[in-house]
Amino acid sequence: MMQKDASSPPPAPGAGANVEPVEEDQIRYLEQCKVNVRQQAANMVRAIDAGDLEEVLKFANLVLGELRTSLLSPQKYYELFLAISTQLSTLESFFNDAHSKGKKMNELYELVQHAGNIIPRLYLLVIAGSIYIKTKEAPAKYILKDLVEMCKGVQHPMRGLFLRHYLLQLTRDKLPDDSDQDKSGGTVRDSVDFVLHNFIEMNKLWVRMQHQGAGRDRERREKERGDLRVLVGTNLVRLSSLEGVDEALYSDVVLPAVLEQVVGCQDCIAQQYLMEVIAQVFPDEFHLRTLDTYLKTLAHLEAKVDVIALMVTLVKRLAKFGLSQRAKITDEMRLFETFLENIQPIVEHRSDSISTVQVLQLHEALLDLVLSVYPERLAYIDQVYARTSATLEAMNVTSIEDAASVKILKRMIMLPLEAPAPAATATGAAAPPRNTLADVLCLEKNVDLLRLLTPIHKKQVALSITRSAIERGAPIPDPEKIDRLVELIRPLIKDEPGLEAEADEDKEEFEENQNLVAKLVHILANESSDMTYRLFYNIRRHFGQGGFKRVRHTLVPLFFASMRLCHRVYRTEQQEAAGEAAPAAEPRQFGSIKILRFLLEIVNIIIKAFPETGLRLALQAALCADNCNSSEMAYDFMTAALLAYETEISESRAQLQAMQIIISTLQSTKNFTEDNYDTLAKKCTMLSSKLLKKPDQCRAVVMCSHLFWTERPIPATPGETAPEWHDGSRVLECLNRSVEIADKCMAPNVHAPLFIEILNEHLFYYAKNVPEITADRITELVNLVINRVSALQEEDLPAIMAYKQNTLRHIRWHQASPREPAEADKYAAIAIPH
């Protein structure tokens, strides 16, 4: 019944019988073919209307005869094939009508085989055979077997491919797909055999195309083969759509047959495409069962086949499946282990042809798989990292600089940190929460990959890790994990070799990066105060290596966090001492005093680089120590602040501001011993009198007077309470000194306001009933102010005059106020000129 395709149509004008014409000739020839198809199809329709079967077959033969050409490229031939297929649908309907009117399909099946040329004959046979199967006049399996064998009569690659594609197209809804149906019709195994047979023959034709023509046309032929690959792949799509094909049938019959053909064809293009189709069209459950077989086949493919891309495709697909159907992937399947065992031999065998970016793409996909299927197994992540670094080391890769590889490597390092938390478990219960940052810091091999990056890329990764950690806010409860974190973000913590060019980076960018690092302090948390202290101590050790330009940004947040910890520990100590809280199960190793000493270390470091900032922190720590009833530590902090003031601050405005803060801090304390307080107060007074500018001296000395008239008790000795600190003589001494300094100011517009300020201070102490501040002294100061103001120039007069009048109005208000007689007599003693 078979006959070879011995004849061919006449060549197109200007072209040889086996020479493909140029593009313009192909277009012209294609249009001519389409015209012929339309004309003969019209004749065929008229014959159908007349019911003349012989005429119908005659004109159908002429329509199909256009497919005998060898002069069209695959793309143009496909256009012709579509045009003819549209017309053949009319013929198919005619055959159906003929059967419904009593025509036996076996007669029609025999009749169409009398066509003169094999191409039209086989197309007609396929149409008749598809209807023959539909009518069930004969078992489908026999007709399918006959059709697929008859198609061997066309051995021209392109014509044979389209013929078999047409066969598959017309029989797609007629294939037996139920293993329990009548055996006379066929089973799903018959359908599988039919499609596999058709696939094998089509693949042979497709592969044969590479050997036709001259060597110089090899590139064109490969392009044409690429255009036709879908025809071959449709067979595998059809196999995947058969409902009767289960995992067992796929693993035992389908996959071995397909893989045998793939390996045996020894063609790079075919192997690349078909292995990709296998991975894409069959269900994920099938791949889980046959994963080892598929991966081992990759090792036997041609050297030019991109097996890495094939593995990446399969890994990504199973990762996506695992993300949504994790319960279906059991430990017995050994999914991760199977990939790991098969990847290494393939990579080692093809190390000469595999690039760095391919290695990274493969392991990136494997990492995606682990995070999708085994998100709780950190050891698997480390194994991927270790395998990646070992593979790159074997390839003598010591540094990665190309953009594509850098992008992948950076993503691999960041993936575990950015991965979503595990989804619900197989039982439907919510998965346990994950501290993603803490998990990442348990990994050991990610640093090996980080070392492959250039310094600038390491810095970018460090920024990404830091931002992600802060955005997630997951706490770091373990001091040892800080060492791991610092290893990952080292370029932000300290100067690294290779980043010298960045030394002059934008100041705002540097500050932004360091502020980002400083925020890490806020995710150092543990329920144990001892453990929290260890966290702070460890991070300070690393921050201290950053140099003076960094500590201003990084140590200040750590200082305040440690100060909060100190208050927390002190409250616990007080509660335990009062019996309000049960003692801790284990003795506390670090009390409030230890934390205060830690604060002092931080203060001393910051003072060296940024004295003004360090001075303010020392004063904050002094208040903290005072509140924690540690006068000795408070004294040390005040001493550090005064030392910073004396040795590091020289600008006059900064000195005045610093002295004001020192005085107000000392005045706010409540637990200094009398000797310590007196020493510090005298020191402040002495330093105030040495300020560079006289007005600053005057105002600072006035402030110091408040140190000697406090409203709270100061312990004379620890455990005892002394009376209020009221030393009027020292107050008067400060005020007298301020008057002397103000009198030395030469400019009237300077010393006049100073005298008004001094007068107001006298009024303050007068209201506090300081014995040394008398009405006569205030009267003397009032006259002095009036005289000084009168000497002012007119342009300076309004503001100062208003200041003076407000002060005098205050005195008159007290004199006229309807208070107790003693209060009225007290202010009446002050004489104010009218």
Q: Average pLDDT in the 211-216 region?
A: 67
The three-class DSSP label of residue 196 is helix
- Tell me what pLDDT residue 273 has: 95
* pLDDT tens-place string over residues 789-804: 877 766 667 888 888 8
Q: Mean pLDDT for the chain?
A: 87
- Tell me what pLDDT residue 812 has: 87
- Give the domain ranges of the chain: 1-138, 139-261, 283-423+435-445, 454-606, 770-834
Q: Of residues 800 and 147, which shows the higher confidence score? A: 147
Q: What percent of the chain has pLDDT over 90?
A: 60
* pLDDT tens-place string over residues 635-671: 999 999 999 999 999 898 999 999 999 999 999 998 8
Distance of alpha carbon 103 from alpha carbon 44, whole angstroms: 19
Report residue 196's pLDDT band, with 50, 70 and 90 as the boundaries.
very high
Q: Average pLDDT in the 303-308 region?
A: 92
Q: Of residues 558 and 811, which shows the higher confidence score? A: 558
Helices (H), 582-727: 592-609, 611-627, 631-648, 652-668, 674-688, 694-705
- Tell me what pLDDT residue 746 has: 65
**Neighbouring-strand partners of residue 726:** 709
Report residue 1's pLDDT band, with 50, 70 and 90 as the boundaries.
very low
Distance of alpha carbon 44 from alpha carbon 37, whole angstroms: 10
- Tell me what pLDDT residue 224 has: 86
- Tell me what pLDDT residue 821 has: 66
- Tell me what pLDDT residue 237 has: 96
Q: What percent of the chain has pLDDT over 70?
A: 89
* pLDDT tens-place string over residues 428-478: 444 444 557 778 888 889 999 999 999 999 999 999 999 988 888 888 888
Phi/psi at 524 (nearest 5 deg)? -90, 105
- Tell me what pLDDT residue 824 has: 67
Report residue 9's pLDDT band, with 50, 70 and 90 as the boundaries.
very low
The three-class DSSP label of residue 712 is strand
Q: Which residue has the tokens 């055959």?
A: 95
Q: Average pLDDT in the 358-376 region?
A: 93
Distance of alpha carbon 235 from alpha carbon 398, whole angstroms: 46
Q: Average pLDDT in the 410-417 region?
A: 91
Distance of alpha carbon 213 from alpha carbon 468, whole angstroms: 59
Other CB atoms within 10 A of residue 413 CB? 23
Report residue 5's pLDDT band, with 50, 70 and 90 as the boundaries.
very low
What are the strands, taking DSSP E only, across 700-755?
Answer: 709-713, 724-726
Angle between helices 53-65 and 74-100 (to 10 degrees): 170
Q: Average pLDDT in the 737-748 region?
A: 82
pLDDT at 8 over 70: no
* pLDDT tens-place string over residues 156-165: 999 999 999 9
Residue 40, Cα to own-chain centre: how many angstroms?
64
Distance of alpha carbon 366 from alpha carbon 32, whole angstroms: 54
Q: Average pLDDT in the 510-538 region?
A: 92
The three-class DSSP label of residue 713 is strand
Q: Average pLDDT in the 816-829 region?
A: 73
What number of H helices and E strands is found in the chain?
37, 2
Q: Average pLDDT in the 68-81 region?
A: 92
Q: How many residues are there in the chain?
A: 834
- Tell me what pLDDT residue 521 has: 93
* Amino acid (1-letter code) at residue 636: D
pLDDT at 178 over 50: yes
Q: Average pLDDT in the 623-646 region?
A: 95
Most confident of 13-27, 240-254, 484-498, 772-786: 240-254
DSSP 321-375: HHHH-GGG--GGG-HHHHHHHHHHHHHHHTTTT--HHHHHHHHHHHHHHHHHH-T
Distance of alpha carbon 64 from alpha carbon 234, whole angstroms: 23
pLDDT at 556 over 60: yes
Q: Which residue has the tokens 């007689």?
A: 821
Q: Identify the burial level of 250 via C-beta atoms within 10 angstroms of its C-beta, where 0-12 means exposed, 13-18 middle and 19 or more buried.
A: buried
DSSP 25-73: HHHHHHHHHHHHHHHHHHHHHHHHHHT-HHHHHHHHHHHHHGGG--SS-
Least confident of 33-47, 116-130, 319-333, 718-732: 718-732
pLDDT at 10 over 90: no
**Neighbouring-strand partners of residue 400:** 453
Q: Average pLDDT in the 122-150 region?
A: 93
DSSP 426-439: TTSPPPPP--HHHH
Report residue 819's pLDDT band, with 50, 70 and 90 as the boundaries.
low
